[in-house]
Structure 1
Amino acid sequence: MSQQIWTIKDVIDWSIPFLKEKGSPSARLDAELLLSDVLACRRLDLYLDHHKPLNNEERSAFRDRIRRRSLGEPVAYILGRKEFYGHEFSVGPATLIPRPETEHLVEILLKSFPDDSQLTGLDVGTGTGCIAISLKKARPQWNLEAWDVSHEALSVAAKNAEKLSAPVTLEQRDALKDASWSACLHGFDFIASNPPYIAASERSELPVSVVRFEPSLALFAEESGLIFYRTFARKAAQSLRKGGKIFLEIGSGQASDVCLLLEESGWQDIAVHQDLAGLDRVITGTAPLT
């Protein structure tokens, strides 16, 4: 008896309803990304060559990826990579998956300084290194330092910095500790951060793919998600030069609380910036005069 032949079209047509049934909100995209990875081709090629049969090894590899996705594992972790600000970053279980919303922080920061400026900046909670490395690629003359409390995350960031030829200084530091800030007095022109900002009480509201697979250390924060912003408000200025600026990504509904924390600590020129969806996404400010 001859074995059934499975073409590209066949496996896509099978996988889409299967993934939908398992709860994927982007079943077609998931299937296309996973299959193009197996076949080492572009997504467009799946449709240009949709009658191409898959061999046993390709079918097995695709089934394994679909199985992992059906259990909720994010596509980025299955592929081991995610695009951010025009660059491909390696990702893993120790790092948060870079989001398009964070690109807005990078854009605002770049527009805040002249293209030919010579600056030193700090990225706090760097994860994959996507913020610091994207800034370095856009402004090669800048000196970028990046902190993370996780040694595993810093290993991923180092891999990305090397792969993208974007040298940044990586330091294992806990931003909630006074010693981290006192070790770099008045050394930076700006500080950027996409810190953990989700309250533990909101865990049940998050998708299973986030709670089960992404690192809690990079997601959840104490004091109703505000502890890092409170620390930035009180401590970050001592690491900034005169007139230094801060750029913070925030979560939904946090704008007024974060602005108040900065105001109470004397920060100037505080502004809230919305993302493409019209949601409050980034807060900027200038360091206190004293």
Structure 2
Amino acid sequence: MTDSADTVIQLLRKSEEFLKKKNIPSARLDAELLLADLLRIPRVKLYVDFERPLSSSEKDAYRERIVERSKSRPTAYIIGKKAFFDSEFLVNESVLIPRPETEELVAWVLEEFQDKESELQALDLCSGSGCIGISLAKARSKWSLSFSDLSREALEINGKNIQEILNTDRTLPLYQGDLFSSIPNENKFDLIVSNPPYIPESEKPSLMKDVADYEPHLALFVSDFEAFHSRILNEAKNYLKPNGFLYLETHPKYSNWLKEEALRQGYSEAISKKDLSGRDSFVRLKI
């Protein structure tokens, strides 16, 4: 990776080979993303200028990035951003990296609330980077979005993403606290959408190193899934308007339990939805 004649295509090939030897599953894609971001060009343009030589400083910076990735540090954390829905979100180790499955959750909500003139109150609970709520606010300009997260550092990223992506005069409150604890009791929502922690701690050993070693455990793991989610369902009832909806991304093996628990707690309707992989990753609960 240090030959003076190294071009874009040569560096991509060398980096891909190096990452594959380190058992990085998406070696070519990561090599491309890291280089395109470094050069500040769209990824597709790498193959337009594939014979372009890199300067010594560019090669040094790229090598540092590839070495970081070889240690399983996620590409999104290395470049500090991640594409989600139709925006690019700032991310760091304080927030989960937005995932395609969560895009499906956002798409489901928008599909069910297609009236762009509607004025709804919505909450992104356990908001992290804010990718769910910001994507909803961008698609539905008349919705009023609020955000809540336990992590102050996550809410800082959330706030920056609101400024960068929405560039709006709308007031979008950020509440720091455990679930609903910092949200005023008088606040009522038509929709609460959430990707809360849902991975049992017993599954930590089976997770990819990228996730287990780098992403925030506070946003990933629960010691007692049923106790934690029972709290969410119970507390959400106090913040939902009549006929309001709670949408959750969840662990597929718990989707049936969530529906049963919701009905037991007095919700009038509980349905699940499969993700593109055929897993029951989402539930919609109606008060």
Same fold (TM over 0.5): yes
Which residue does the alignment assign to 2:196? 195
Instruction: Verify the 8 A CA contact 1:186 1:241 in the aligned structure 2.
Output: no
- With over 3 angstroms needed to count, the CA separation of the structure-2 counterparts of 1:85 and 1:227, relative to structure 1, is farther
Structure 2 alignment gaps of length 5 or more: none
Which residue does the alignment assign to 2:253? 253
Task: State the secondary structure of the residue aligned to 1:92.
Answer: coil
1:137 pairs with 2:141: no
Which residue does the alignment assign to 2:279? 279
Task: State the secondary structure of the residue aligned to 1:146.
Answer: strand
Q: Where do residues 52-201 of structure 1 align in structure 2 (5 Å cutoff)?
A: 52-113=52-113, 114-164=115-165, 165-166=167-168, 167=170, 168-175=172-179, 179-180=181-182, 183-185=184-186, 187-201=188-202
Which amino acid is 2:17 matched to? P
Which residue does the alignment assign to 2:18? 18
Task: State the secondary structure of the residue aligned to 2:38.
Answer: helix
Q: Alignment RMSD, CA only? A: 1.4
- Distance in 2, Cα, partners of 1:186 & 1:150: 21
- Residue 115 of structure 1, CA deviation: 2.7
- Distance in 2, Cα, partners of 1:25 & 1:252: 24
- Distance in 2, Cα, partners of 1:4 & 1:125: 48
Task: State the secondary structure of the residue aligned to 2:253.
Answer: coil
Task: State the secondary structure of the residue aligned to 1:244.
Answer: strand
- Residue 33 of structure 1, CA deviation: 0.6
- Distance in 1, Cα, partners of 2:117 & 2:123: 18
Instruction: Verify the 8 A CA contact 2:263 2:269 in the aligned structure 1.
Output: no
- Residue 89 of structure 1, CA deviation: 0.4
- Distance in 1, Cα, partners of 2:25 & 2:59: 23
Moved segments of 4+, more than 4 Å: none
Identity of aligned residues (%): 40
Task: State the secondary structure of the residue aligned to 2:210.
Answer: helix
Q: TM-score by structure 2 length?
A: 0.94
Instruction: Verify the 8 A CA contact 1:185 1:240 in the aligned structure 2.
Output: no
- Residue 189 of structure 1, CA deviation: 0.9
Structure 1 alignment gaps of length 5 or more: none
Task: State the secondary structure of the residue aligned to 1:72.
Answer: coil
- Distance in 2, Cα, partners of 1:137 & 1:249: 20
- Residue 258 of structure 1, CA deviation: 1.1
Q: TM-score by structure 1 length?
A: 0.93
- Residue 261 of structure 1, CA deviation: 1.4
Instruction: Verify the 8 A CA contact 2:9 2:51 in the aligned structure 1.
Output: yes
- Distance in 1, Cα, partners of 2:220 & 2:188: 28
Which residue does the alignment assign to 1:228? 228
- Residue 180 of structure 1, CA deviation: 4.2
- Distance in 2, Cα, partners of 1:266 & 1:37: 49
- Residue 213 of structure 1, CA deviation: 0.5
- With over 3 angstroms needed to count, the CA separation of the structure-2 counterparts of 1:266 and 1:46, relative to structure 1, is same
- Residue 105 of structure 1, CA deviation: 1.3
Deviations 1:185-224 (CA, angstroms, capped at 9, x unpaired): 461111111000011110001000101110000000121x
Which residue does the alignment assign to 2:28? 28
